[in-house]
Amino acid sequence: MKKQDRAHLKLLSDVGEILSLLTGSSDITEFLQRVTTKLASHLNTAVCSIYLYDEKSDDIVLTTTVGLKASSVGVTRLRLEEGLVGKALRELKHIVLEKASLHPEFKYFPETGEDPYECFLAVPMRRGVERIGVLVLQREAPHKFTESEVHLVLALTSQLAGTLENARALLALQSGTIQPENRADKLPTFLQGKSVCPGVKSGPAYVFRRRASLIPEGAAKEGESVDLETAISATAKELTALQQQLANRLPEAASLISEAQLLMLTDPGFVGAMKAKVVEGAPPAQAVSDIARKYIRLFENSTHAYLREKASDVEDLALRILKNLFPLENDARSSYKNQVVVARDLFPSDILKLAAENVNAIVLVGGGTTSHVAILARSLQIPSIIIDFQELLQIRDGEFVLVDGENGHLYVNPEEETRRKYEKHIQTTEDISVLASKIQEETRTRDGIRVRLMSNINLLGELDLALQLKAEGIGLYRTEFPFLVRDTFPSCNDQLQIYRELFQRMAGREITIRTLDAGGDKMLSYFDTDGEPNPELGLCSIRLTLSHPEILEDQLKAILLARENQNRIRIMFPMIASPDEFLTAKEMVVQQWKKLPTETRGELPQIGMMLELPAVVDLMDEFVRIADFFSIGTNDFVQYMLAVDRSNERVADFYCPHHPAVLRGINRMVRPALAAGKDVSVCGEMAHDPKYLRFFVGIGIRKLSIDPNTIPEIQQCLATETCASMEKYAQDLLKCTSIREIENLIGA
């Protein structure tokens, strides 16, 4: 080893040792001074300074120095766009110069006394994407910094960065520039997010929290309490009313939400134990919270997912009883009526509760717009947006907010003017009946080509809208929603009731019913997945139902029975990856169908599949031989084609439906299917977007399944375009070789 290398190694280990001194060190200034002195002497430089970046003021501040005037410490400050130090930190690139003052961006700081030191080396320090500061070394000419010295300093700064980051935080605390933060005070007054469900609503914000943390420890509540018995019967009344409300809005979930809780209200182990505690002399609030906490702990620690899920039911119930114990106090916590809920993790069943309680709007902090929670919020027509800004979770309960679901805007404490503007907007928003009156029975392009507009349905509550807006049928009924909103698998009979209602209300029209597509971001809370690390790539969708054939058998039986004499009901399998999977699933339909009495079973229904995995692109010739029809699930096709989680807002920019591989992949799937005369539709979100709509029609698609409220817009859009122009548009898109080229063409 060369002498110089040995010296460098020694320096690295010395610095490492010094850095370890920061822990527990109370004098940060002295610590920084020791670091710079050590560096200056080892590197043989006249000047060694550390500039730290102060995010609050956006200044870079000379924090410690050997060689410059001590009086300039804390005084010399520059902006990111100023001087060589600013340049190094702004561009996150080191700068080596023989004569610093000749550089066009050189800025002279006379108070430092740096005039003689022309040889200059500045190395930015960062931690991940966080800018920390700059280490600057200076010497008199002609002693410029050699390449090996530069490498050594680069290695050193990467060691220093973490410790200096801590030092910077400690310094800020000592100087009082950082107050123990109340982030709620720092929330911006306007945040731009993404639209999930249009509609403008305002109201007090309320952060959705879970679990026992909400239940006060012991007899936390003081004040005038009614007796426990009265509170319990008030709670029972409240739950029955909630159930009624829910039945109107969500027939398939009618008895679900509060049934378990109503049962608990008569359970001797639960309510009985509370009463016993009161008899022993405990205040009612304490009795409720002690017993509730005990149950929550028991449920939370259960090895069964469906029991763990019960913990939130208990919590919800206890909060209701507690609220009813103190009826005079206006505690909004147990009801979300007219509030704007801000939430990070919502289960589909939470959204149902919020809908039943008439929440005004939902702000999801993170998540993707094609996630199923988002889809459910849309189905329930709750104005909702997604904003990936974690600080929102610290918003004060009761803070007035306004949600513009259409544009993804959130206003915190909006000015009077903004409120007035939106009030006007609400008044002028078109009524559904007005929209419905403008809709034609049939949708045609400008040159008269018929395109069938079907409706996607997640909840039976959407059927009215689909009928009002003249959907020609149901192109996708996502059967998983009745599964998602329950806390256990629906029985065959439960399913039969739901499917029967769907088929009867849409009688005579084509209905495509998709078998259970659970897992991924549609976790069934009662079905253990053993903490799969990659649920989207795990045991989900058709894989799940084929590995538990009893679930699929029950469902198929319910569908076939509910069909009665209707012959336009089609069965579709999700996430098919191979002909083998499809044939196995298809055979199960045939078997269930054969079990029905000959006189009532009618013909074997058409059996089709979703096209949503890249694996099927090259197997279409095989699939056209075995499947009756196809529907393109673009939400998943984009996700799996590009390996981008559709529910993750952080990678939303990579979720790019206009990627050339996506468009070409879709075209390659469609061509053989259409050539074989098969029915092909699109049921993913891309079908709602005029940019892609024209592409789909251009490649020959004549059936789209879309959210019912988008039917008027899509119909209008198609009426203005000719088939020839859409074909040309599609061909142009297919020729593009990059995302950018496509963006230019579609104006994205």
What is the smallest separation between the CB atom of 352 and Mg ion, expressed in angstroms? 21
Contact indicator for 169, 350 with CB cutoff of 8 Å = no
From 42, 372, 658, 659, active-site residue = 372
The DSSP element (H or E) to which 402 belongs, if any, is strand 400-404
H helices of 385-491, in order, are: 416-428, 432-438, 463-468, 480-484
Under rule CB under 6 A, residue 636 binds ligand PEP = yes
Active-site residue, 656 included: no
> Integer distance in angstroms from the first to the last C-alpha of the chain?
58
| Token pair belonging to 133 | 């500061």
Contacted by 684, from ligand PEP, Mg ion, none: CB < 5 to 8 Å by type: ligand PEP
What is the smallest separation between the CB atom of 364 and ligand PEP, expressed in angstroms? 17
Active-site residue, 48 included: no
| Token pair belonging to 112 | 């430092």
Contact indicator for 510, 472 with CB cutoff of 8 Å = yes
Among 339, 635, 681, 715, binds ligand PEP (CB under 6 A): 635
Among 517, 649, 707, 721, binds ligand PEP (CB under 6 A): 517
Q: Which stretch binds ligand PEP (CB under 6 A): 324-332, 389-397, 628-636, 690-698?
A: 628-636
What is the smallest separation between the CB atom of 484 and ligand PEP, expressed in angstroms? 11
For ligand PEP, which is the closer residue by CB, 117 or 637? Answer: 637
Strand order in the sheet with 200-207: 190-192, 409-412, 400-404, 200-207, 340-343, 361-364, 384-386, 194-197
* Distance between CA atoms of residues 516 and 571, nearest Å: 11
Contacted by 478, from ligand PEP, Mg ion, none: CB < 5 to 8 Å by type: ligand PEP
What is the smallest separation between the CB atom of 313 and Mg ion, expressed in angstroms? 29
Among 383, 414, 684, 708, binds ligand PEP (CB under 6 A): 684
From 197, 540, 683, 736, active-site residue = 683
- Check residue 111 and report its DSSP letter: G
* SS3 category, 534: coil
Under rule CB under 6 A, residue 138 binds ligand PEP = no
The DSSP element (H or E) to which 384 belongs, if any, is strand 384-386
The number of beta carbons lying within 10 Å of the beta carbon of residue 129 is: 6
* SS3 category, 54: strand
Contacted by 487, from Mg ion, ligand PEP, none: CB < 5 to 8 Å by type: none
For ligand PEP, which is the closer residue by CB, 83 or 519? Answer: 519
Q: Which stretch binds ligand PEP (CB under 6 A): 254-262, 353-361, 629-637, 670-678?
A: 629-637
* Distance between CA atoms of residues 725 and 712, nearest Å: 21
Q: Which stretch binds ligand PEP (CB under 6 A): 165-173, 224-232, 560-568, 634-642?
A: 634-642
H helices of 489-597, in order, are: 492-505, 541-547, 549-563, 579-595
Helix 723-735 vs helix 690-698: angle between axes, to the nearest 10 degrees?
100
Contacted by 683, from Mg ion, ligand PEP, none: CB < 5 to 8 Å by type: ligand PEP
Place of tokens 């069934």: 524
For Mg ion, which is the closer residue by CB, 149 or 636? Answer: 636
Q: Which of residues 558-587 bind ligand PEP (CB under 6 A)?
A: none
Under rule CB under 6 A, residue 681 binds ligand PEP = no
Contact indicator for 703, 652 with CB cutoff of 8 Å = no
Contacted by 704, from ligand PEP, Mg ion, none: CB < 5 to 8 Å by type: none
Using the CB atoms, write b or e for 637-667: b if 16+ within 10 Å.
bbbbbbebbbbbbeebeebbbbbbebbebbb
What is the smallest separation between the CB atom of 662 and ligand PEP, expressed in angstroms? 12
What is the smallest separation between the CB atom of 222 and ligand PEP, expressed in angstroms? 49
What is the smallest separation between the CB atom of 636 and ligand PEP, expressed in angstroms? 3
What is the smallest separation between the CB atom of 197 and ligand PEP, expressed in angstroms? 15
* Distance between CA atoms of residues 278 and 275, nearest Å: 5
- Cα torsion 243, 248, 249, 255 to 10°: value is 40
Among 54, 313, 612, 645, binds ligand PEP (CB under 6 A): 612
Question: E strands of 592-725, at which residues?
Answer: 607-611, 629-632, 679-682, 703-706
Most distant pair of Cα atoms in the chain: their distance: 103
For ligand PEP, which is the closer residue by CB, 636 or 649? Answer: 636
Contacted by 95, from ligand PEP, Mg ion, none: CB < 5 to 8 Å by type: none
For Mg ion, which is the closer residue by CB, 525 or 647? Answer: 647
What is the smallest separation between the CB atom of 522 and Mg ion, expressed in angstroms? 9
* Distance between CA atoms of residues 17 and 38, nearest Å: 11
Mark residues 460-479: x for contact with ligand PEP by CB under 6 A, - for none.
----------------x-x-
Among 123, 683, 718, 746, binds ligand PEP (CB under 6 A): 683
For ligand PEP, which is the closer residue by CB, 537 or 675? Answer: 537
- Check residue 251 and report its DSSP letter: G
Q: How far from chain centre, in Å, is Cα 497?
A: 32
For ligand PEP, which is the closer residue by CB, 167 or 572? Answer: 572
Q: Give me the residues that bind Mg ion (CB under 5 A), please.
A: 612, 633, 636
CA atoms within 13 A on the CB side of 216: 15
For ligand PEP, which is the closer residue by CB, 203 or 633? Answer: 633
Contact indicator for 99, 124 with CB cutoff of 8 Å = no
For Mg ion, which is the closer residue by CB, 405 or 684? Answer: 684
Q: Which stretch binds ligand PEP (CB under 6 A): 186-194, 421-429, 443-451, 632-640?
A: 632-640
Give strand pairing partners of 457: 477
| Token pair belonging to 229 | 């018995």
Under rule CB under 6 A, residue 634 binds ligand PEP = yes
For ligand PEP, which is the closer residue by CB, 205 or 683? Answer: 683
Catalytic residues: 372, 683
- Binding site residues, ligand PEP, CB under 6 A: 476, 478, 517, 612, 633-636, 683-684
